[in-house]
Structure formats: C-alpha cells, structure tokens
C-alpha cells in the first residue's frame, strides 16, 4: 500500500473514531499510539508524526532490562561486589533514564538507577582500596592507570548528573560527588602530550575505547563539570584544572574524529567557552553536512578511516547512536527545534524506534553481530543508541 493510500485510510479511520467517541479528548488517541508497528526499513521519508509519538514506556523497559543484565553479568563483576561502569550500557543508561521519569509518571529513581548509583557511590567511597576495573597483570601495560582515569571521569559524570536532576535535595552537590570530582582532578594529566586529559582505557575499540578516546573522556569531564549544581565550575580551586582541560580540547581538536567532536559540541553547551564561536559554528555546519538522505546520521561517516577488526565492511546506514547523539548535541548547542535538518533528524528517530522491543538500531565499528561474544554483547550499540535517542527526543519536547 503506498503512502497516499495509507493517509486516505488513516483520515477515514480518524473520522470514524471521532463519530464513535465524540466526547474523547484527542490526546487519548495519541497516548495509545506507542504500540503501532514501525514503518518498513525501505521507507526513508519521515512522516508527519510529532516528535512525542515514540514509545517511552517501551524505551524505558528496554533500557531497564539491559541495565539489569549488565549489572548482573559475570564478566562485568568487579572488586568489593561492584560492577564495571561501561560506556556503552551503564553510562548512557544513567544519563538518559531520568529524562523518562516525568512522562512515565515515576516519582523517584527506578530500581536499576538506584542500584547503579549505589555502585558508583560505593566505589567512590572505597577509591583508595577498591581495585581498578582492569589491571596491568590481567590486561597488559597501563590498564590500571587507564582504568583509574576512565572511572574517575565516569563516576563524576554520573553523580553530578544525579545531583543536578535531584529536586528532592534542591539540586545540591553531594559530598560523594565532591569526592568523585576530587578523584577525577587527581587523575588529570599535568604534563606531556596529554596534559589536561585523562588516561583512557584503550582496547582498540571505537568510539569509546580506542587510542583517540582520551578526547572523548575529556569531553565527558567537561560535561560533568558543567552539569554539577551549585555553580561548581566557578570554584577557584579547579580553575587551573579547567584551563588545562580547555587547552587540551583546543590543542588536539583538529586531529579528532567527528564522533569525538560531536561529544565536544555537547560539552560546549554545558561548559561555555570551551571553543571559540567560529570553531563551534564550523563544527555545527560540519555535523549538519553529514546528514544522510533519509534524515539520520551514520556513525561510520564520523569515524574517519577506521576498519573493523573482523574485516567485515562497516555499515553505512543511518543509525540511532549517531542520529541521537548529533540531534541531542545540536539541541544542547541552541539549534532551534524548528531547524529543517534537525527536524528531519528527530523525525528519523521517531520513525526508527523498534516499537516491539523499544530500542533503536546501531552498528558496531569493531565487529559485526556474528563476531560478538554473545547476542547480549551484540546489543551494546543498541543500548547506547536507545539512550541517546531518548535524550534527543526528550530534549526536543522540552524546547
């Protein structure tokens, strides 16, 4: 059935529904549209549905299920009965899940959000005695210090985000968050080529654990500082650290993948002055120039000349991670929700949610699904894609 015929039948159905249920509010039908079947993959043109017609409940259920699996997965277990904080599942979950709370009528943290925060808090409090995520003995040279650098940033990011969204304590900067920031600044590099950054886990995996992922981590550190309540970014005692961070992000900017710089754009919204206005404007233009014909973005187009470990070709399709990240970063940077290209990107996200299971599809830059450890690990990119799609669509509603 072609699109024209669908619209005709859709209009007829709406007219009939109005006759049968004359007293109902129009919002009732919209609220129940979340279970509709998504358009076929071959249909690339965005339809006229509003950006609030995606299924929030299904997205939350997917994110909750994946967080629960990660926290209970044997290979994620760490010292002192804690678990690793992953960039693909745990961190995106912590950042995105709160944005669904109001629309789902939730009054507090979900069970898995609480579990994740308890885990991070425990590791912050035990920082000097808890073992790093990975050690030199188990995973090779520098993995202990890379683990410390990586975790220190992620802990601060998660706790600062929770403080900033916690209205029950009037968005107060907690003692645990202050401790997490102290740990983070202690891990910042103060000399050499990486001065201003953090040693980051390197497992030859893009976009979060590669040789260039120090930049990604430094951008997250900037987001953490800018997110923290009580104007933490203005504290006199961290100004030298911020200066080193800002200099690093500008000094190494030109050599970064567009994927890394998209995260930086988000950071500039949280911590103004990271980039000069002309460079920020050029970055926005470059991101918009990478938009695909269907309205989405492809992570492959943002990864430079990266090749998969398994030798399989990279996916060139639009995906939920790249589209969600870029749409969210553009909104954070102040691009109008009515911008034509951003509007098409948001429409792509609405169209491409898997309504049955709640997730958005994305593709690994490192291996295809057949070469992952298990079907669960093959979902890592879907986890991140779903989180960033939720962030983008939730942010667009608030503007």
Tell me which of 275, 296, 315 is where a domain ends: 275
In a domain, 250, yes or no: yes
Q: 207 preceded by cis ω (within 30°)?
A: yes
Q: How much is the average pLDDT of 197-209? A: 97
pLDDT in tens, 308-327: 999 999 999 999 999 999 99
User: Is the domain of 245 the same as that of 115?
Assistant: yes
Same domain, 124 and 216: yes
Any domain includes 383:
yes
Dihedral sign for Cα atoms in the order 284, 290, 295, 297: negative
250 shares its domain with 163: yes
Are both 114 and 61 inside the same structural domain?
A: no
At a CB cut-off of 8 Å and minimum separation 6, what does 372 contact?
364, 378
Q: Decide if 159 contacts 225 (C-beta within 8 A).
A: no
Indicate whether 320 and 397 sit together in one domain: yes
What CA–CA distance (Å, rounded) separates 313 from 25?
Answer: 50
Q: Assess if residue 34 is contained within a domain.
A: no
Q: How far are the Cα atoms of 82, 225, 229, 325 from residue 127, in angstroms, in the given order?
A: 12, 20, 23, 31
> pLDDT for 273-283, tens place per residue?
999 999 999 99
Q: Are residues 225 and 121 in the same domain?
A: yes
Whether 15 is in a domain gets the answer: no
In a domain, 36, yes or no: no
Query: Does residue 27 belong to any structural domain of this protein?
Result: no
User: Do both 117 and 243 map to the same domain?
Assistant: yes
Comparing CA positions, the residue from 34, 108, 162, 100 lying closest to residue 386 is 100
What's the domain range around 121?
109-275
The rounded distance, in Å, linking the Cα atoms of 318 and 315 is: 9
Structural domain contains residue 313: yes
What is the pTM assigned to this prediction?
0.86
Residue 166: its pLDDT value, please?
A: 80
Q: How many domains does the chain have?
A: 2
Residue ending a domain, among 232, 248, 275, is 275
Specify if 42 maps to a domain.
no
Let me know whether 392 and 256 are in one domain.
no
Q: How far apart are CA 350 and CA 51, in angstroms?
A: 6
My answer on whether 146 and 59 are in the same domain is: no
Buried b (16+ CB within 10 A) or exposed e, 111-134: ebbebbbebbbebbeebeebebbb
pLDDT of 49 > 70? The answer is no
Query: Are 259 and 202 in a shared domain?
Result: yes
The answer to whether residues 207 and 292 belong to one domain is no
User: Is the same domain home to 141 and 243?
Assistant: yes
Give residue-wise pLDDT tens across range 102-149: 889 998 899 999 999 999 999 999 999 999 999 999 999 999 999 999
């Amino acid at each position: 059935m072609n699109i024209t015929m669908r619209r005709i039948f859709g209009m007829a159905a709406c007219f009939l529904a109005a006759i049968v249920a004359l007293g109902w509010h129009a919002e009732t039908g919209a609220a129940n549209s979340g279970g509709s079947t998504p358009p076929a993959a071959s249909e690339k043109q965005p339809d006229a549905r509003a950006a609030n017609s995606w299924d929030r409940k299904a997205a939350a259920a997917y994110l909750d299920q994946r967080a629960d699996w990660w926290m209970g997965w044997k290979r994620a277990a760490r010292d002192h009965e804690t678990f690793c904080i992953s960039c693909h599942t745990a961190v995106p979950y912590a950042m995105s899940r709160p944005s669904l709370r109001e629309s789902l009528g939730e009054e507090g943290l979900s069970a898995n959000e609480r579990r994740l925060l308890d885990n991070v808090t425990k590791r912050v409090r035990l920082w000097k005695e808890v073992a790093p995520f990975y050690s030199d003995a188990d995973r090779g040279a520098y993995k202990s210090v890379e683990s410390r650098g990586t975790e220190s940033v992620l802990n601060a990011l998660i706790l600062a985000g929770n403080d900033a969204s916690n209205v029950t304590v009037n968005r107060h900067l907690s003692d645990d968050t202050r401790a997490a920031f102290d740990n983070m600044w202690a891990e910042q590099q103060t000399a050499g080529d990486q001065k201003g950054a953090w040693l980051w886990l390197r497992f030859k995996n893009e976009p979060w654990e590669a040789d260039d992922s120090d930049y990604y981590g430094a951008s997250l550190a900037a987001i953490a500082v800018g997110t923290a309540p009580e104007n933490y970014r203005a504290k006199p005692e961290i100004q030298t650290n911020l200066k080193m961070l800002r200099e690093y992000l500008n000094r190494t900017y030109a050599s970064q993948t567009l994927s890394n710089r998209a995260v930086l754009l988000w950071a500039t919204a949280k911590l103004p002055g990271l980039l000069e206005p002309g460079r920020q404007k050029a970055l926005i233009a470059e991101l918009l120039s990478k938009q695909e014909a269907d309205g989405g973005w492809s992570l492959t187009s943002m990864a430079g000349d990266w090749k998969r470990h398994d030798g399989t070709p990279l996916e060139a399709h639009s995906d939920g991670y790249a589209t969600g990240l870029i749409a969210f970063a553009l909104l954070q940077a102040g691009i109008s929700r009515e911008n034509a290209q951003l509007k098409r990107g948001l429409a792509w996200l609405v169209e491409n949610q898997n309504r049955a299971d709640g997730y958005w599809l994305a593709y690994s830059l490192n291996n295809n699904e057949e070469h992952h450890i298990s079907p669960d690990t093959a979902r890592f990119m879907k986890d991140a894609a779903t989180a960033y799609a939720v962030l983008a669509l939730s942010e667009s509603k608030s503007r």
